[in-house]
């Protein structure tokens, strides 16, 4: 699992930071899942090594413009390019009328398979929005000025590592049998032997997990959703000194984000959705927000546009 930040500013774009969007590259699949799609996200794709044609799912946190104004343009461009094999969209109830209204009033037609999945019950915690054999995506309501959701992606446990030497030592002919055994399945060889893949694999490997939490003020539900996640991406619109503004506008401070990471025992925290008021050169800079957060949760990074992070299992397990 690899995350690429395509926009890390809150409200409006700045010279160095576009508005919210994050691309998640999934292992063993040549597909991208996009989380939020602020204005200019398709331009950010052009400036990155990522390809919009690989987007298969788009998850929208809430209906504020800095998270959705890039969506109609991206969807239309994918249609014109003719290289999308389909998009599933997930988000708040109002997403459907927003997209359908824009498509209708601009006489646009989506020429690829396209589905809008509304999250209908905004008070439902740990709601499963998508699941297949490899991944599960859940969401939970946040505390913001409009209905907003945090999303969690869990990769399901994978079979243990295949012991190639043991397979060779048992004189198993290479070929399709190996791939079946690698999946832990039983196979019957031409010589009549029946082998169980589980005897050739190590212990199951835990899947990786990532949580995207924006926009919100400090939220217990978000902490519950993020429990034990390998990577938590949390909004950090304000510095601690601007706590009053955070309460007023229902956003987080750097210290709230760090406290959430600490209480959720996550492996790593990344701060994003930074207010343009902290541009470098101003009295408070993004590095000050990072410093504040690190005092509470040391394994914290500051997001910047085009930063890529591989989601990794932490070496030490949190014991608080
Ligand atoms: Zn926002
Ligand atoms: Zn918002």
Q: What is the pLDDT of residue 270?
A: 98
**Any idea which ligand is nearest the CA of 10?**
1
pLDDT at position 122, please? 61
Residue 192 CA, ligand 1 centroid: distance in Å: 62
9 CA distance to ligand 2 middle (Å): 11
Task: Tell me the three state secondary structure of residue 177.
Answer: helix
> For each of the chain's 320 residues, which pLDDT tens digit applies?
999 999 999 999 999 999 999 999 997 888 999 999 999 999 999 999 999 999 999 999 999 999 999 999 999 999 999 889 999 999 999 999 999 999 999 999 899 999 999 998 766 677 899 999 999 999 999 999 999 999 999 999 987 888 888 888 888 887 888 888 887 788 888 888 888 888 888 888 889 999 999 999 999 999 999 999 999 999 999 999 999 999 999 999 999 999 999 999 999 999 999 999 998 788 999 999 999 999 999 999 999 999 999 999 887 666 55
Ligand lying closest to the C-alpha of residue 273: 1
Q: How far is the CA of 66 from the centre of ligand 1 (A)?
A: 5
- Give the up-direction half-sphere exposure of residue 169: CA atoms within 13 A in the CB hemisphere: 5
**83, two tokens:** 């290289």
Catalytic-residue membership of 66: yes
- Residue 18 alpha carbon to ligand 1 centre in Å: 11
Ligand nearest to the CA of residue 36, numbered in listed order: 1
**Ligand 1: centre distance to CA 280 (Å):** 20
Question: Residue 242: how many CB atoms within 10 A of its CB?
Answer: 19
The structural domains of the chain, ordered by start, are 2-158+205-310 (3.60.15.10), 164-200 (no CATH)
Q: What is the value of pTM for the model shown?
A: 0.90
Ligand nearest to the Cα of 92, by number = 2
Choosing from 66, 154, 230, 305, the catalytic residue is 66
* pLDDT score of 320: 53
160, 202 contact by CB (below 8 A): yes
Structure tokens at 213: 């939490």
Helix extents (H) in the chain: 41-46, 65-68, 71-81, 94-105, 164-169, 176-182, 220-226, 243-249, 254-264, 286-296
Q: How far is the CA of 62 from the centre of ligand 1 (A)?
A: 8
141 C-beta neighbours (distance < 10 Å), count: 23
**Distance from residue 276's CA to the centre of ligand 2 (Å):** 14
Per-residue CA distances from 73 to 9, 80, 150 (Å) = 20, 10, 24
Task: Report d(CA 209, CA 226) in Å as an integer.
Answer: 9
């Amino acid at each position: 699992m690899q995350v690429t930040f395509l926009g890390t500013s809150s409200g409006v774009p700045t010279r160095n930071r576009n508005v919210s969007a994050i691309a998640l590259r999934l292992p063993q699949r040549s597909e991208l899942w996009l989380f939020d799609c602020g204005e200019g996200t398709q331009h950010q794709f052009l400036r990155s090594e990522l390809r919009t044609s690989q987007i298969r799912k788009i998850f929208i946190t809430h209906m504020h413009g800095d998270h959705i104004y890039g969506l109609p343009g991206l969807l239309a461009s994918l249609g014109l390019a003719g290289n999308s094999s389909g998009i599933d969209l997930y988000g708040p109830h109002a997403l459907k009328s927003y997209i359908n209204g824009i498509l209708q009033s601009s006489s646009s037609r989506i020429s690829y398979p396209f589905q809008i999945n509304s999250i209908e019950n905004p008070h439902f915690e740990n709601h499963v929005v998508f699941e297949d054999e490899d991944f599960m995506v859940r969401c939970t309501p946040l505390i913001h000025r409009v209905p907003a959701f945090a999303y969690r992606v869990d990769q399901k446990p994978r079979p243990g590592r295949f012991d190639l030497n043991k397979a060779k030592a048992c004189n198993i002919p290479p070929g399709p049998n190996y791939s079946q055994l690698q999946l832990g399945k039983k196979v019957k060889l031409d010589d009549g032997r029946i082998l169980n893949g589980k005897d050739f694999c190590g212990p199951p490997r835990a899947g990786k997990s990532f949580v995207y939490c924006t926009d919100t003020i400090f939220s217990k539900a978000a902490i519950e959703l993020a429990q034990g996640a390998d990577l938590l991406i949390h909004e950090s619109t304000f510095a601690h000194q601007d706590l009053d503004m955070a309460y007023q506008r229902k956003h987080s401070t750097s210290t709230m984000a760090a406290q959430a990471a600490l209480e959720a025992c996550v492996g790593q925290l990344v701060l994003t959705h930074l207010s343009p008021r902290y541009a470098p050169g101003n009295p408070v800079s993004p590095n000050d927000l990072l410093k504040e957060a690190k005092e509470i949760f040391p394994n914290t990074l500051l997001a910047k546009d085009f930063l890529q992070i591989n989601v990794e299992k932490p070496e030490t397990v949190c014991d608080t």
